[in-house]
């Protein structure tokens, strides 16, 4: 398994903290609530950059796939 850099580790910690912040309809959850994640990132002093959003999109994709398997 590849090592995770400190930067990516901090991003993952932020995303995991926000794992219950979902956008949902009566049909179920369909996305993470990015506005909350952005606020948490700010409080963790994580720069909200294009790289941050790309990592968040990748994390969200995997997260939603796993959530919808259940």
Q: How confident is the model at residue 70 (pLDDT cuts 50, 70, 90)?
A: low
- Domain range spanning residue 14? 6-69
Tell me which DSSP letter residue 26 carries: T
Torsion, Cα of 61, 7, 36, 38 (10° steps)? -100
49 lies in some domain: yes
Which pLDDT score, from 0 to 100, does residue 45 have? 96
Q: Which residues contact 32 (CB under 8 A, 6 or more apart)?
A: 15, 18, 19, 21, 22, 23, 56, 59, 60, 63, 64
Which pLDDT score, from 0 to 100, does residue 1 have? 59
Tokens encoding 44: 């963790």
31 within 8 A of 22, measured Cβ to Cβ: yes
Tens digits of per-residue pLDDT, 3-20? 888 888 999 999 999 989
Tens digits of per-residue pLDDT, 11-60? 999 999 998 999 999 988 999 999 999 999 999 999 999 999 999 999 99
Structural domain count, the chain: 1
Which pLDDT score, from 0 to 100, does residue 69 have? 87
């Amino acid at each position: 398994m590849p090592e995770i850099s400190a930067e990516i580790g901090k991003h993952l910690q932020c995303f995991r903290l926000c794992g219950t912040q979902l956008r949902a309809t009566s049909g179920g959850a369909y996305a993470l609530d990015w506005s909350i994640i952005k606020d948490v990132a700010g409080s963790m002093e994580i720069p909200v950059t294009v790289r941050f959003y790309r990592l968040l999109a990748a994390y969200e994709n995997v997260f939603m796939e796993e959530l919808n398997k259940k």
